[in-house]
């Protein structure tokens, strides 16, 4: 019986394992540094095994890879090159949901020589966004259309009934990852001009838009330029990939940056301090200065009533004692700890995923807009929408690789019809269906 090795037992592992057990006869080995995490994922079900693995134990890693027919890495992205090298060496295919890197790309020839597939960016964003976009791009091209503009939007949010705090946000994955991503700059193509935006200028590039019943803000996400070639859109005038949030997020992230709350510098602290005293220590604010006033001054133009309410609601300015488990922490560590305590989903609350594509194209002298939207909600008391939309594309790909439905070698993204067609079809069977609308635009558009 074929085996899949699952590296990492975090947010995404459970729905991945559930899908494979329900839709195949493959066995699963779930390996994690904490074997109890792996056991929570497998729940001692048939065809599942658990292993304790410290990823730094390369010999043990290779031993586990050797037992499997395919590997899915749900580890942090910095470990994927090590895993990819081992997979190529042992001639095992690999899937990850994280962004491709130059080091992984450089393994293409070796992977082909080994007869294995390294499939990157096989989650939600990146992943499902690529596949759903390529489905439309290839359809427009087959119909002899010319794509003028492509804007892609994706965000993990709280469902309306769970959107209950001043931040208008709750965490369905790592708060640290969310905060770090919010400090990135961006590069994209807008009306034939390549724009590079520093993080400090992101607010000026933030747009308000409505998707269905939701009023949102969108800001450019990382570097969109490589996707011109990856999507085969040479000659396009505009291409931007956006992150979606409810309004006020970008300004708040800018305020956090200016205040120093996004700083990762380690600071020595006492084990137990009042929250406001701890904040003073981390931000190097003297006792003689008014804490709130200094934060307001540092935030400058980004400070407003909403930002003040959000920081106060987190309890950052309280005198309540805060126990610190380590002698050194950073301002971001403290912020993350407060967010985990106050901005996590309650047991029966749902998260929400919004993925939206907006294409402008011409055909036979007329202009058209094609909009495609996926709205997914988490299961109260079960898997989040974020976990499902990351896990299912990877799980389906794993199944189809082992069933020989997908037969590719080398390093790939899911932009080929051999990958996206069967995966999108199976996602529909799982209830993930895009709502699509095509309309003709006025002649002056």
Instruction: Report d(CA 189, CA 191) in Å as an integer.
Output: 7
Cβ contacts of residue 216 below 8 Å, gap of 6+? 155, 208, 209, 210, 244, 245, 246, 247, 354
SS3 11: coil
Q: 197: buried, middle or exposed (CB in 10 Å: 19+, 13-18, 0-12)?
A: middle
Total number of residues shown for the chain: 445
For residues 366 and 152, the answer to whether their CB atoms sit within 8 Å is: no
Kind of pairing between the strands at 117-119 and 410-412:
parallel
Q: Which two tokens stand for residue 103?
A: 């080091």
For residues 107 and 89, the answer to whether their CB atoms sit within 8 Å is: no
C-alpha to C-alpha distances, 45 to 19, 21, 38, 40, 74, nearest whole angstrom: 13, 9, 12, 10, 20
Residue with tokens 């001009």: 193
Q: What angle do CA 435, 367, 213 make, to 5 degrees?
A: 30
**125 included as an active-site residue:** yes
For residues 352 and 375, the answer to whether their CB atoms sit within 8 Å is: yes
Helices (H) and strands (E) in the chain — how many of each? Answer: 16, 21
| Residue from 409, 407, 256 nearest 334 by CA | 256
SS3 322: strand
For residues 356 and 152, the answer to whether their CB atoms sit within 8 Å is: yes
Q: Choose, from 18, 32, 125, 129, the residue flagged as catalytic.
A: 125
Q: Which two tokens stand for residue 332?
A: 């971001």
For residues 226 and 232, the answer to whether their CB atoms sit within 8 Å is: no
Catalytic residue numbers read 125
């Amino acid at each position: 019986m074929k085996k899949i090795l699952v590296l990492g037992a975090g947010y995404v592992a459970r729905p991945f394992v559930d899908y494979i057990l329900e839709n195949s006869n493959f066995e699963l080995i779930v390996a994690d540094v904490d074997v109890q995490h792996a056991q929570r994922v497998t729940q001692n079900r048939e065809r599942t095994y658990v292993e304790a693995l410290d990823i730094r134990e390369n010999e043990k890693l290779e031993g586990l890879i050797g037992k499997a027919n395919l590997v899915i890495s749900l580890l942090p992205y910095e470990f994927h090159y090590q895993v990819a090298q081992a997979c190529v060496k042992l001639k095992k295919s690999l899937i990850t949901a994280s962004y491709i890197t130059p080091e992984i790309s450089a393994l293409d020839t070796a992977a082909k020589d080994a007869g294995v597939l390294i499939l990157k960016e096989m989650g939600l964003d990146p992943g499902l966004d690529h596949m759903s976009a390529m489905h439309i791009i290839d359809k427009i091209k087959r119909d002899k259309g010319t794509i003028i503009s492509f804007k892609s939007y994706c965000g993990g949010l709280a469902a309306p009934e769970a959107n209950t705090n001043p931040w208008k946000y709750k965490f369905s994955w790592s708060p640290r990852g969310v905060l770090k991503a919010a400090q990135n700059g961006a590069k994209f193509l807008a009306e034939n001009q390549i724009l590079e935006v520093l993080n400090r200028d992101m607010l000026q590039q933030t747009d308000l838009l409505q998707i269905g019943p939701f009023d949102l803000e969108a800001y450019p996400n990382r570097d969109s330029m490589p996707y011109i070639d990856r999507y085969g859109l040479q000659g396009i005038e505009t291409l931007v990939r956006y992150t979606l949030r409810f309004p006020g997020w970008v300004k708040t992230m800018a305020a956090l940056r200016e205040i120093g709350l996004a700083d990762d510098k380690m600071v020595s602290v006492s084990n137990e301090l009042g929250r406001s005293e701890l904040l003073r220590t981390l931000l190097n604010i003297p006792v003689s200065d008014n804490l709130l006033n200094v934060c307001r001054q540092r935030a400058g133009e980004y400070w407003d009533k909403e930002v003040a309410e959000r920081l106060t609601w987190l309890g950052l300015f309280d005198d309540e004692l805060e126990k610190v488990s380590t002698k050194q922490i950073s301002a971001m560590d403290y912020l993350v700890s407060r967010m985990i305590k106050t901005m996590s989903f309650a047991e029966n609350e749902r998260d929400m995923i919004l993925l939206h594509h907006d294409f402008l194209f011409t055909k036979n002298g007329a202009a058209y807009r094609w909009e495609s939207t996926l709205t997914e909600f988490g299961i109260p008391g079960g898997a989040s929408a974020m976990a499902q939309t990351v896990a299912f594309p990877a799980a389906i790909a794993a199944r189809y690789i082992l069933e020989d439905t997908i037969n590719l070698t080398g390093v790939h993204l899911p932009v080929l019809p051999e990958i996206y067609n069967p995966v999108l079809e199976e996602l529909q069977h799982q209830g993930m269906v895009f709502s699509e609308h095509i309309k003709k635009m006025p002649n002056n558009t």
